[in-house]
């Protein structure tokens, strides 16, 4: 076996291993439906309040003691709009809309998109940063879609369809946070209404009825 062939073989194996590593990398943790359901069961009785804080204004669920816990949204000067699931005052999974980029996912495992172009930029998992293949931007996007009825979707898309996590703003002022699959609401999500109520449920099951 020649030295040149050995080098080529090593390089090929390294490339396959790197690609395999990337193929196993998710954009963010895939939350099991059972976990989401257990979280909803835990917080469904919590009240909804607007709370000012040093971090920013919070609108969402709080415990009996007034601690931030459940579905909600923070509006801050530093991080923009943070919408998702909160536990002990921290958003452990959701959408963090900044001025130029948006992060979708958990605190230490998320994908970053460029808001100006909609392109996916990279994935952060723990202390590691993973770049994305060039063809990703043709398939995975973070877009703002406006509809003829006045509704607006701001969130992840796959091949032009609402797919992933997003925010759906209704013309009547209500808005929805949750997951989509093939343009339809998928699994648990929260509907924020103009009368300061939050309805949490399995919207996929509701749409099937």
Which H or E element spans position 75? Answer: strand 68-76
DSSP at 32: -
Q: Is it the case that residue 24 has pLDDT exceeding 90?
A: no
pLDDT at 91: 92
Closest CA to 190 of 172, 180, 176, 179: 176
User: What does the pLDDT average to over 63-73?
Assistant: 94
Q: Is it the case that residue 12 has pLDDT exceeding 50?
A: no
Which H or E element spans position 15? Answer: helix 3-24
Contacts of 148 (CB under 8 A, 6+ apart): none
Q: Is it the case that residue 6 has pLDDT exceeding 90?
A: no
Question: Which token pair is 39?
Answer: 């979280």
pLDDT at 206: 61
What is the Cα–Cα distance from 106 to 94, expressed in whole angstroms? 7
User: What does the pLDDT average to over 159-170?
Assistant: 96
What is the Cα–Cα distance from 195 to 111, expressed in whole angstroms? 33
Q: Is it the case that residue 9 has pLDDT exceeding 70?
A: no
What is the Cα–Cα distance from 111 to 116, expressed in whole angstroms? 16
What is the Cα–Cα distance from 209 to 207, expressed in whole angstroms? 6
Residue 152, phi then psi, degrees to nearest 5: -145, 135
Please report, for the chain, the start and end positions of each structural domain, with discontinuous segments joined by +.
28-208
Question: Which token pair is 148?
Answer: 């003829």
Q: Tokens 């536990």 — which residue? A: 87
- Mean per-residue pLDDT of the chain: 86
pLDDT at 133: 86
pLDDT at 22: 46
Of 4-13, 50-59, 155-164, 172-181, least confident by mean pLDDT is: 4-13
Contacts of 14 (CB under 8 A, 6+ apart): none
Which H or E element spans position 88? Answer: none
């Amino acid at each position: 076996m020649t030295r040149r062939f050995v080098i080529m073989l090593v390089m090929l194996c390294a490339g396959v291993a790197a690609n395999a590593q990337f193929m196993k990398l998710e954009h963010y943790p895939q939350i099991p439906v059972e976990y989401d359901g257990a979280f909803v069961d835990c917080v469904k009785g919590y009240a909804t309040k607007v709370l000012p804080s040093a971090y920013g204004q919070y609108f969402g669920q709080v415990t009996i003691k007034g601690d931030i816990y459940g579905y909600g949204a923070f509006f801050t000067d530093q991080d923009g709009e943070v919408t998702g699931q909160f536990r002990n005052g921290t958003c452990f999974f959701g959408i963090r809309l900044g001025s130029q980029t948006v992060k979708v996912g958990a605190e230490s495992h998320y994908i970053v998109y460029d808001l100006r172009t909609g392109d996916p930029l990279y994935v952060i998992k723990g202390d590691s940063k993973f770049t994305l293949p060039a063809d990703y931007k043709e398939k995975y996007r973070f877009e703002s879609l406006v509809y003829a009825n006045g509704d607006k979707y701001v969130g992840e898309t796959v091949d032009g369809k609402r797919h992933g996590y997003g925010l759906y703003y209704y013309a009547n002022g209500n808005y929805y946070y949750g997951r989509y699959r093939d343009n339809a609401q998928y699994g648990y999500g929260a509907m924020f209404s103009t009368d300061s109520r939050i309805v949490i449920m399995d919207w996929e099951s509701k749409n099937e009825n």
